[in-house]
């Protein structure tokens, strides 16, 4: 049976760091309010010349280096983003060009903050079908460009960045001991559209629009949705929280992460938390956290890693990977 194993990770953040203190003079807020409600201390904000595609390129090149591969080895690029450089062509195809890849194919996936989980699941299916041998899966975002910088309830929460993983086909036995993506569970439900959305778009206003969120409403649903889809994944593999070596959740909010881990019974020391460094980077947050935990030696080959995300739509999902 074919599995998609992880060969390497990479990430890239914009140069400019904006601290909580840097909001003085922008909106009425405080370091204390932001840290207490969200855990966020810094976020990176894209400057001139930095875009979703340029950040994705940096992350992809680093992931290729880590994998010991070149772009000639890759058949597929799946890029999760809600903030593409242009309405079209797809940012993934622009990235393909920048990487010098004239073979294979590339496309974007749009599932907001769950984008990386959806993209990884999609690439895994291409690999398991035998159509593709190696893929780069990327989450890249420049949410700073769709924020309402006069709305203190949203502009303090988000940041820009990109993360990537290279996956490749490998033979597995079809057991829990196999390396690779072992299970994915994806969900969406448009009932919740107005709780988290962008108020513009090409086919409605003809503008890009700004992010709008009812934070308390999102919070109310988040923990239940996240834990449901994780429990489904656990059942599919007949495992429990103690079998997981690392829990790498979407990094939106420290309180949502802590509450989810607690409800699931996952020990706090197994949770990878990076939200303090770069805020909510939407589809980029999981691969950014993965790259950090791989490079600092926490995530090791053979360990069981649980990924989870929830975002606008709502969309949500979980993936379990034997690293």
Q: By CB under 6 A, name the one of 136, 183, 252, 307 that touches ligand ACO.
A: 252
How many residues are given for the chain? Answer: 323
Taking the complex as a whole, the smallest distance from the CB of residue 217 to ligand ACO amounts, in Å, to 8
Q: Is 124 or 141 the residue whose CB approaches ligand ACO more closely?
A: 141
Phi and psi (nearest 5°) for 56?
-60, -40
Q: By CB under 6 A, name the one of 64, 76, 156, 273 that touches ligand ACO.
A: 156
Taking the complex as a whole, the smallest distance from the CB of residue 28 to ligand ACO amounts, in Å, to 7
Residue 42 a catalytic site member:
no
Residues 6+ apart with CB under 8 A from 296: none
**Helix or strand holding residue 225 (H, E):** helix 215-237
Angle at 185 between CA 174 and CA 113, to 5 degrees: 130
Residue 41 binding ligand ACO, by CB under 6 A: no
Q: With 0-12 CB in 10 A as exposed, 13-18 as middle and 19+ as buried, what is 302? A: exposed
Terminal C-alpha separation, the chain: 17
| Structure-token pair, residue 290 | 């993965």
Q: Is 4 or 253 the residue whose CB approaches ligand ACO more closely?
A: 253
CA distances from 295 to 64, 89, 113, 127, 271 (A): 14, 33, 23, 25, 16
Q: By CB under 6 A, name the one of 216, 242, 296, 297 that touches ligand ACO.
A: 216
Q: By CB under 6 A, name the one of 2, 148, 187, 219 that touches ligand ACO.
A: 219
Residue 113 a catalytic site member:
yes
Which range touches ligand ACO (CB under 6 A), out of 26-34, 53-61, 182-190, 233-241?
26-34
Total Cβ atoms within 10 A of residue 41: 17
- Report the site for ligand ACO in 106-145 (rule: CB under 6 A): 112-113
Q: Which of 250, 253, 277, 278 is catalytic?
A: 250
Residue 153 binding ligand ACO, by CB under 6 A: yes
Contact assessment for residue 113 and residue 142, using Cβ atoms and an 8 Å cutoff: no
Q: By CB under 6 A, name the one of 55, 79, 101, 196 that touches ligand ACO.
A: 196
Residue 146 binding ligand ACO, by CB under 6 A: no
**Distance separating alpha carbons of residues 161 and 179, to the nearest angstrom:** 28
Taking the complex as a whole, the smallest distance from the CB of residue 156 to ligand ACO amounts, in Å, to 4
What 8-state DSSP symbol labels residue 151?
-
Residues 6+ apart with CB under 8 A from 253: 37, 38, 39, 40, 157, 219, 222, 275, 280
Q: By CB under 6 A, name the one of 37, 179, 212, 298 that touches ligand ACO.
A: 37
Size, binding site for ligand ACO by CB under 6 A: 23
Q: Which of 42, 44, 113, 277 is catalytic?
A: 113
Which range touches ligand ACO (CB under 6 A), out of 34-42, 55-63, 69-77, 175-183?
34-42
Residue 276 binding ligand ACO, by CB under 6 A: no
**Distance separating alpha carbons of residues 249 and 273, to the nearest angstrom:** 8
Taking the complex as a whole, the smallest distance from the CB of residue 114 to ligand ACO amounts, in Å, to 8
Active site residues: 113, 250, 280
- The binding site for ligand ACO (CB under 6 A) comprises 29, 33-34, 37-38, 112-113, 152-153, 156, 196, 215-216, 218-219, 250, 252-253, 256, 280, 310-312
């Amino acid at each position: 049976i074919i599995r998609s194993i992880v060969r390497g990770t990479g990430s890239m953040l914009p140069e400019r760091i904006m601290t909580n203190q840097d909001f003085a003079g922008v909106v009425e807020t405080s370091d204390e309010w932001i840290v207490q409600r969200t855990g966020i201390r810094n976020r990176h904000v894209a400057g001139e010349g930095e875009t979703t595609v340029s950040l994705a390129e940096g992350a992809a090149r680093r992931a290729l280096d880590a994998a010991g591969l070149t772009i000639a080895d890759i058949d597929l690029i799946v890029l999760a983003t809600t903030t593409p450089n242009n309405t079209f062509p797809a940012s993934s195809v622009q990235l393909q060009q920048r990487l010098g890849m004239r073979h294979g194919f590339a496309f974007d996936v749009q599932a907001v903050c769950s984008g990386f989980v959806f993209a990884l699941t999609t690439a895994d299916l291409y690999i398991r079908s035998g159509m593709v041998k190696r893929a780069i899966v990327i989450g890249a975002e420049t949410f700073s460009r769709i924020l309402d910088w006069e709305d203190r309830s949203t502009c303090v929460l988000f940041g820009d960045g990109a993360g990537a993983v290279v996956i490749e086909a490998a033979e597995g036995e079809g057991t829990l001991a196999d390396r690779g993506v072992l299970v994915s569970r994806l969900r969406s439900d448009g009932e919740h559209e107005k709780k988290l959305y962008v108020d513009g778009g090409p086919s409605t206003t003809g503008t890009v629009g700004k992010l709008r969120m009812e934070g308390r409403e999102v919070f109310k649903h988040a923990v239940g949705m996240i834990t449901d889809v994780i429990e489904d994944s656990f059942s599919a593999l007949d495992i429990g929280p103690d079998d997981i070596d690392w829990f790498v959740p979407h990094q939106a909010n420290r309180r949502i992460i802590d509450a989810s881990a607690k409800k699931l019974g996952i020990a706090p020391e197994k949770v990878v938390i990076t939200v303090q460094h770069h805020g909510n980077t939407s589809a980029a947050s999981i691969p950014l956290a993965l790259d950090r935990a791989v490079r600092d030696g926490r995530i090791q080959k053979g360990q069981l890693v649980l990924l989870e995300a929830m975002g606008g739509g709502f969309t949500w999902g979980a993936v379990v990977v034997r690293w």
